[in-house]
Chain A
Amino acid sequence: MNVLVCVKRVPMTGGTIVLTPDGQAIATQHLGFTISPHEECGVEEAVRIVERHGGESVVLTLGPPEAEEQLRDALALGIDRAIHLVTDGEEWDAQATAAAIAAAVEAERAAGIEYDLLLFGNESADAGGYQVGVRVAHRLGLPCATGLKSLAVEGGRIRCEQEAPGGRDVYDLPLPAVVTVKEGLNLPRYPSVPGRMRAQRKPVAASRPARPEPRLERLRLVVPGGQRKQAEILGHGPEAAPRVVEVLERIGVLT
């Protein structure tokens, strides 16, 4: 059972987002970076599936040279090796990203490596396009279920559960398949110190695909305005409780 998990490097934005003066990017000089939250669960799931069923787990990212940090993070959690599609830091749109990932999977296939399962996050934390996994599935001729919170691999099939109003919807796909997952799928483990040491020795295969012209072309970013409020301070400590209750009564939630 060979599993590929695709991840994206995104900044940890914290409390307020500050843009670069040209409005082209988030000012990141004081920020750390991470793997998009849904994909952290994808990495964990890939490790668990290979622990249970054997085979190889591989992590792939399309991103700047610094994204090797996120690949090493995934390797530290137990992924076996990494594929880095190196960019010059410019954003790739979803179509271009999917084409490059599908080409990388085809190259693996040509080298004799067939993946049974391709894991994606449902949407990236930053761009939120909701489409790279679906597009890769079409390019590779594979079925794709999205937004999944539970996966179970058995007998060449995968049972997938998706949250829906009032319950969960179930899909049952033949493998090989593409799935896009959401946070809550599992609780990702923390990397151990030996895991981090081993990660430094695991292979990362880097290549530089050419970036096509974007067809969804970002012009600039804008921080939404007019939402900043001046909170009315009701008081300090437990003495504020009577005023809180006054407010709750006024809103009408205290019956």
Chain B
Amino acid sequence: MTVLALVERGPEGPDELSLQALAFARSLAPGEPLHALAPVRGGEGTELAATLGEHGVSTVHLAEHEAFAAHAPVALARAVVELVERLAPAAVVAAGSERGNEVLAHVGALLDLPLATNCLEAALGEPMRLTRLRWGGSLLEEASLHGSPKLLTVAPHAVPAEAAPAAGPAVERFTPSLTDADLVVRVVERVQAAAGGISLADAKVVVSAGRGAGSAEGFAVIEELAALLGGAVGCSRAVTMAGWRPHTDQVGQTGTKIAPDVYIACGISGATQHLAGCKGAKTLLAINTDPDAPILASADYAVIGDLHEVVPAISAEIRKARGR
């Protein structure tokens, strides 16, 4: 019984979520051979294969094609399908990233098989029993997955990316047979983001406000505190829908998912939509006029009060502390 895992490449080697997917794939069939597929340009991928060997992969299949210089989801799905036909794996696993979900959706469509995305747990069997995320993780679903092979993606951070050293992996290179139609959907250009500013996704401190800010101008005190802490400004969906802040500032299920050391949520009630985006925060401080606001059930600390009074007082106190 073999399991095939799809590996995406980050700027340096395999990306973190793919390594997590490998750990998940190993747990499906412990002791059984684990195959991995990574897309590369011709001749590339030797170092990548070595890294995958350290994560328990017994055979690394390098799908070589010039199209894989950039993301080409249909071409990659064709490569997966080719390997599925050759290896007849019990399951195909990918990271529950945007791209992992996308490529396995194409695989599911090409093979007319069901796909379970963002799984937390799964056990091989007929049908496969699994637990997956719904509502951006606010709710879980226990489900049965039919068909073979089982197609699934692994919810980000469901399992840690543990190394599992094995004897150096076998490396097999192949060129998937692709038609022009398979190459229509591919990245033709990369627009670099404007430099400067702290990205919300990577910030160590995020100071956010919701409807309680009252207006676009109400964010002045939020921006001041964020600047003092070297952090980024965030907001809730209610704020972007009101047009007070751009969508790029939105924290939540349909916005940015953040994982700062501290998240200061001001005047945010704590709808599941919002909480799905800030579960990764190590510490959550809520500032809210309502002591019964749902966000307090997810907060480590809370101040009961109006953000327009509390936030400027915190900024003043920080300046005072730094002056000492």
Does B173 make an interface contact (CB < 8 A)? no
CB under 8 Å from chain A, chain B span 284-324: 285-286, 291, 293-294, 296-306, 309-310, 312-314, 316-318, 321
CB under 8 Å from chain A, chain B span 160-188: 184-188
Contact indicator A125/B310 (Cβ below 8 Å): no
What's the tally of chain B residues with a CB closer than 8 Å to chain A?
A: 99
Main secondary structure of the interface of B (DSSP, over half): mixed
Which residues of chain A are within 8 angstroms of B301 by Cβ–Cβ distance? 231-234, 244, 247
Closest to B194 in A: A167
Which residues of chain A are within 8 angstroms of B114 by Cβ–Cβ distance? 93-95, 215-216
Which residues of chain B are within 8 angstroms of A249 by Cβ–Cβ distance? 321
Q: How long is the Cα–Cα vector from A44 to B145 in the complex, in angstroms? A: 35
- Interface stretch (choices A8-16, A104-112, A200-208): A8-16
Which residues of chain B are within 8 angstroms of A233 by Cβ–Cβ distance? 291, 301-304
Does A197 make an interface contact (CB < 8 A)? no
Q: In the complex, how many angstroms separate the beta carbon of B221 from the nearest chain A beta carbon?
A: 12
Contact indicator A241/B250 (Cβ below 8 Å): no
Q: How long is the Cα–Cα vector from A233 to B184 in the complex, in angstroms? A: 56
Contact indicator B142/A247 (Cβ below 8 Å): no
Known contacts A231-B301, A241-B317, A251-B262, A17 near B139 by CB under 8 Å: yes
Does A1 make an interface contact (CB < 8 A)? no
Known contacts A130-B102, A222-B140, A236-B303, A170 near B184 by CB under 8 Å: no
Which residues of chain B are within 8 angstroms of A245 by Cβ–Cβ distance? 314, 317-318, 321
Scoring B residues 233 to 244 as 1 if CB is less than 8 Å from chain A, else 0, what string do you get? 000010011010
Which residues of chain A are within 8 angstroms of B187 by Cβ–Cβ distance? 169-171
Q: Give 8 A-B pairs besides A14-B294, A238-B305 with Cβ atoms closer than 8 angstroms.
A: A17-B272, A94-B108, A161-B191, A187-B240, A216-B115, A236-B303, A238-B310, A241-B310
Q: Can you show 7 pairs from A to B with CB atoms below 8 A apart?
A: A98-B109, A139-B109, A143-B185, A161-B191, A165-B11, A236-B305, A238-B310
